[in-house]
């Protein structure tokens, strides 16, 4: 899952910036697999235990997990999991071709590319997972140091692609 997140954070900005046709088979397969995994993760988050704030207990009650998740990360996870590209692709095929000859078509294409950047909100999941690893089981010095080094490195790499 972490590799998929890092892949999204690198491939999506590069694809939007440098490739004109984002509907090639490899791009579609990557996006479908990625969207599917993140939608599954969204559902699984309702059944995943949560560590209490004082780090003394893990909450396993589904009702408490649901309430906490809906109040915290659900909106960000849901927005980042919406397959916006394919919604617009379906709409695109249903509207006649004369519509795309107008100047508004360029604005719509740009808008869809901007909306596909919503997937980059998945960075919040990556940071959240790393933080959870630090809290729960990574108490050895070596593992904690690796995580503390990896998180800023990944963020810097992603920001490098954006700048």
Q: Which two tokens stand for residue 140?
A: 């050895």
Lowest mean pLDDT among 38-42, 75-79, 125-129: 125-129
Higher-confidence residue: 140 or 23?
Answer: 23
Token representation of residue 59: 């909450």
- Whole-model pTM: value is 0.60
Q: How would residue 6 be classed by pLDDT, with cut points 50, 70 and 90?
A: confident
How far is 122 from 8, CA to CA, in rounded Å? 8
Domain with 17, as residue range(s), is 2-162
pLDDT in tens, 60-115: 999 999 998 898 888 888 877 877 767 766 766 665 555 544 544 545 555 555 55
Q: How many helices (H) and strands (E) does the chain have?
A: 8, 2
Residue 23 CB neighbour total at 10 angstroms = 12
Q: Rounded to 10 degrees, what is the CA torsion of 23, 27, 29, 30?
A: -150
Q: Which residues are paired to 50 by β-bridges? A: 59
Count of domains for the chain: 1
Q: Name residues whose C-beta falls within 8 Å of residue 15's C-beta, 6 or more positions apart in sequence.
A: 22, 27
pLDDT, the chain, mean: 72
SS3 (DSSP) at 59: strand
What pLDDT shows up at residue 43?
A: 92
Residue with tokens 């939608």: 39
């Amino acid at each position: 899952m972490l590799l998929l997140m890092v892949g999204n954070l690198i491939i999506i900005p590069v694809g939007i910036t440098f490739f004109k046709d984002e509907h090639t088979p490899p791009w579609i397969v990557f996006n479908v697999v990625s969207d599917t995994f993140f939608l599954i993760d969204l559902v699984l988050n309702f059944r995943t235990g949560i560590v209490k704030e004082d780090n003394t207990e893990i909450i396993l009650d589904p009702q408490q997990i649901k309430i906490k998740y809906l109040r915290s990360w659900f909106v960000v996870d849901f927005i980042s999991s919406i397959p916006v590209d394919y919604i617009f692709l379906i709409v695109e095929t249903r509207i006649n071709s004369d519509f795309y000859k107008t100047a508004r078509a360029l604005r719509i294409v740009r808008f869809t590319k901007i909306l596909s950047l919503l997937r980059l909100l998945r960075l919040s999941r990556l940071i959240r997972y790393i933080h959870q690893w630090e809290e729960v089981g990574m108490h050895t010095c070596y593992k904690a140091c690796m995580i503390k080094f990896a998180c800023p490195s990944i963020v810097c790499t992603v920001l490098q692609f954006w700048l």
